[in-house]
Structure 1
């Protein structure tokens, strides 16, 4: 429990060496798999968990409550509202970027397009890219960006919304960095992580979105997770 909290805090702290920290924390979280629901061929459930005592048939039992992505409401490149309900029953991959990013975002989008090409016609899968520069990345800007990538349909959604809510869900729910930083290129700093989320809104994997081999692992784990469900 305490170790998980420390890891989440480390992952939420802005830094220029984000790619390295993604892997250090992901490795540490995976080391906790035995404590977080992983068994056999199943992917672990990452993040903090809590023991909850409840009454079942008159008996006191202790159950585990796993870290869960909370409800949210953002706006997609199509102008409609995307919520947790929109993704109900689906496996999805979340990431954080901005369209004018001069550093890691082009690499991330090249790699995430590989995932889109693999699963873009599978209605059980959604890619969810959150802009961390909503003042610039309006709905029309996101739509033009998606069009430039060759994205059609609703399997890859680019979402915008209230800046503070985007930063909050990134750092406190997805366990990655998303914050303003005047000294950073583009004025914001963010993680290069891709976060794999299951239909129950549990995080099942964190991957370096700038590395082809890490994205190969993500694709393999998505296939495994779809088979699990």
Structure 2
């Protein structure tokens, strides 16, 4: 059963039983669990989480802090902005994703809600994205690692990352030949997905075309969710 059918069947089961899904489990909850209204347009039937669904529960190490990071740990305390990337990205897609998270981090600091924000950037290239590489990348991209609200997530192995992305987001990660790019042995097809998750662990917005989404729109959505 694919993920979307599973979510629907789980929601139907919960409704029949007169219960809701437990926090941290995949499920579909009512509109009163979100701050933002449903988006005016939907893009077919995506496999990734969308408005009103719970963020999948998973734990990934942050090699820079030595902590294991779980979105569920932020429930009740922080809103989350999540994306996936790799530092060797040759065509600007991943830097555009990181730019949007970094801008949210900057505004959160300026407006005084940095402690209510969590910015999670998950690499799907752990073989090359080691702790030193991620730290240097943060410096290059202007990320404030000292703010305490940014985490680079690095799966233990490429295989673990592939499984995590497929199981939780329906995104297929596969290496492709990188010979067309200078000095790249392999590259990846791009997924420009950004997810905004509220303090209850519910997805408020999925931006499937994150690099093409106006940065200030994401900033404004995040602000509204945090300050509601």
* TM category, shorter: 0.5 to 0.7
Unaligned runs of 5+ in 2: 9-27, 39-47
Q: CA deviation at 1:147?
A: 1.9
Change beyond 3 A, Cα 1:222–1:3: same
Task: Name the CA distance, whole Å, in 2 between partners of 1:223 and 1:123.
Answer: 13
CA distance in 1 between counterparts of 2:73 and 2:35 reads 25
Match of 2:58 in 1: 71
Structure 1, unaligned runs of 5 or more: 9-34, 50-64
Q: 1:188 to 1:165 in 2, by over 3 A?
A: same
Residue equivalent to 2:102: 113
Q: Distance in 2 between matches of 1:3 and 1:83?
A: 20
How far 1:139 sits from its partner (Å)?
1.0
Aligned residues: 184
Q: Normalized per residue, which structure has more strand?
A: 1
What is the CA distance between 1:105 and its match in structure 2? 1.1
Q: How much is the aligned-residue C-alpha RMSD, in angstroms?
A: 3.5
Residue by residue, what CA displacement relative to the aligned partner does 1:171-210 show, whole Å, maximum 9, x if unpaired?
Answer: 33245x3501324774222311111112232222112321
Q: Which residue of 2 aligns with 1:82?
A: 69
Secondary structure of 1:140 counterpart? helix
2:150 maps to 1:156: yes
Structure 2 partner of 1:167: 162
TM-score (norm 1): 0.66
- TM-score normalized by the length of structure 2: 0.66
Question: Given the superposition, is the C-alpha separation of residues 129 and 41 from structure 1 closer, same or farther in structure 2, using an over 3 Å criterion?
Answer: closer
Report the CA distance shift for 1:99/1:66 in structure 2 as closer, same or farther (over 3 A). Answer: closer
Distance 1:97 1:172, change over 3 A: same
Kept after mapping to 2: 8 A contact 1:72/1:83? yes
